[in-house]
């Protein structure tokens, strides 16, 4: 029997034209794909979470493919992952997403080098989580530090987990704070 039983999914898309300055000729698009699943370990301690983590790769692939289809692979410049664990679970049940969700995005995007930022929490239904974003090829590209809110009104229920992936088409609209730019990335170590 599969450890992954999806109750519902969501896709949220934001299109940002300006932040009070001039309207951008190329709007920023951010998208979050989420799935709410039954937590197979809710209410009890499970020593070995590795089978769950391995099986979650398929969910990561499903959500990654939805985001790539929505935004276009060639347009994606930022990414992140997140989990909200229902109150009968533990933070470690969300931490399994670090490998499963991150691996899936990297695989689909051609194995970019920058680490995939993350956020996770144990919370009740309706909780909203701010998810950090950054450039997929180098973590220190300041213009691409951003965030997107994820959450679903009735999720996660106490015995569920909401897993989410976020991708976007660029840095912040009107970014003007200097630092390393995406055009100057040269070391290709995932940082600079």
pLDDT in tens, 59-88: 999 999 999 999 999 999 999 999 999 999
Residue 108's contacts (CB-CB under 8 Å, 6 or more residues apart) are 61, 64, 65, 68, 73
| pLDDT score of 189 | 87
| CB contact at 8 A, 4 and 37 | yes
| pLDDT score of 188 | 83
pTM for the full predicted model:
0.96
The span from the CA of 83 to the CA of 123, in Å, is 10
| pLDDT score of 70 | 98
Which residues of the chain are modeled with pLDDT < 50? none
The span from the CA of 35 to the CA of 11, in Å, is 9
**What does pLDDT average to over the chain?**
97
| pLDDT score of 187 | 87
Q: Tell me the fold of 6-184.
A: 60s Ribosomal Protein L30; Chain: A; (3.30.1330)
pLDDT in tens, 129-139: 999 999 999 99
């Amino acid at each position: 029997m599969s450890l992954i039983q999806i109750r519902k999914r969501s896709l949220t898309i934001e299109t940002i034209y300006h932040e009070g300055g001039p309207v951008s000729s190329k709007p920023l698009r951010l998208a979050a794909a989420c799935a709410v699943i039954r937590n197979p370990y809710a209410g009890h301690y499970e020593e070995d979470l590795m089978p769950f983590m391995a099986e979650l790769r398929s969910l990561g692939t499903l959500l990654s493919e939805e985001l790539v289809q929505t935004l276009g692979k060639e347009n994606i410049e930022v990414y992140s992952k997140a989990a909200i664990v229902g109150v009968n679970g533990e933070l470690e049940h969300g931490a399994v997403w670090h490998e499963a969700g991150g691996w899936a995005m990297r695989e689909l995007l051609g194995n970019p080098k920058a680490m995939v930022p993350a956020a996770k929490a144990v919370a009740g239904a309706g909780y909203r989580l701010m998810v950090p974003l950054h450039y997929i090829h180098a973590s220190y590209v300041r213009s691409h530090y951003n965030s997107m809110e994820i959450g679903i009104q009735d999720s996660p229920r106490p015995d569920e987990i909401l897993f989410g992936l976020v991708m976007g088409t660029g840095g912040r609209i009107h970014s003007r704070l200097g630092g390393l730019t995406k055009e100057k990335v040269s070391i290709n170590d995932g940082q600079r």
